[in-house]
Structure 1
C-alpha cells in the first residue's frame, strides 16, 4: 500500500510539473508575439511619413519648375513706327523678335525698305521699332539695328521727312498729317516747284505757326 501511494504522489507531481512548464511556454510565446506587434506596425508609419515627405519635395520641385518656366515669357510693349500698315504700340513677349512686331503691325507697307532693318533682333520693353521707307536715310542713333532706341524716343530722334521728296505715304508719317493734308503738301510742292525751307510749310492751307513748330524736328527740305 505504501508503495502504491508513493507512485501516485510521484505521478501527480510530474503532472503538475508538466502543466506548469506548458503554461510558462504559452505565456512566454504570448509575450514574444505581443512584443513584436508594435514593431511591425511602426514600419508602415515610417514608410507613410517617408512617402509624404517625398511627395512634398516633388510638389515643391514642380512648383519651382513651373515658376521658372513662367518667368521665361514676359509681357512687354513696343512702339512700331514707319513703313508698316498698322503702326502703334503692340503687346509682345520677351521671346519675340523684330519680325514678330512687324507682323503684329499688319506687315510691311509697300514702300518699306526691309534691308535696313535687323529682323532677327530680339525685342526689349519700351523699344521703338522703326521701319524706314525706300530712299529714306536712317538716323545714326538707330542705324544697324531695328531702329530701336531702347526707351521712349523724342521727336528729334525720329527720321526726318523730306518735304520735297516724300510721297503721299511718307508725308503721312508726320504727326497729325493725314491723307488730305499730305495731298495739300504735294499740291503746294508741285505748284511752287518745291519747298525752299521748312518754314514755308505754314503757307500750306491747314498748317499754322503752332503746327509748324511741332513738326519742325520731323521735316527737312
Structure 2
C-alpha cells in the first residue's frame, strides 16, 4: 500500500509539473506574438507621414516650375550712342534697364548729361539709347526716355506746349514743371498779356537760361 501511495504521489507531482511547463510555454509564445504584431496606431501614423511627404513633394515641384517660368529672359540688342565711352550695339537681356546698357558701353563720358535720361527705363529690342552732352539740345523723346525704334536716328518729336493757351495740366507735361511752376507761368501770362517769345519764360521766377534751353524744343508761343 505504501508503495502504491508513493507511486500515485510521484505521478501527480509530474503531471502538475508538465501542466505548469505547458502553461509557461503558451504564455511566452503569446507574449512574443503580441510583441511582434504592429499596433493600430502605428499604421495611421505611417499613412499620414506618407501623405505629408507626398504633399511636400508636389509643393516643391510646383514652386520649381513657377521659378523656372519667372526666370525666363530674352536676349535683345540695343544701340548705345552719344556721350558714352564705348558706343555701339550691345547685347542685353529683357530684364535690363538703360543704366545697364550704359555700363555695357563703358559708362558715361565726362561731358555726359545723364540727368536728361531716364536711366530706370526698361530696354526693348532694337532700342536706341542716346546720352546727350551738357548743353546739347535733345528732343523730348530722348530727354525723358531714350529714343526707341527700329533704326538709329529715328526720333519722334513729342507734342509741343503753347505757353499762351495751355492750362495748368498741360504745362505740367513740360520736363521739370510741376504744379507751382505751372501756376507761375499762368500768373505771368495773365499779368503781361501772354508770352511774346519763348525767351520770355526766363522772366518767370524759377526759369533760367539752362531750363529754357532744355524746354525750348517742347514749347511754342
TM-score (norm 1): 0.50
Query: What TM-score, normalized to structure 2?
Result: 0.50
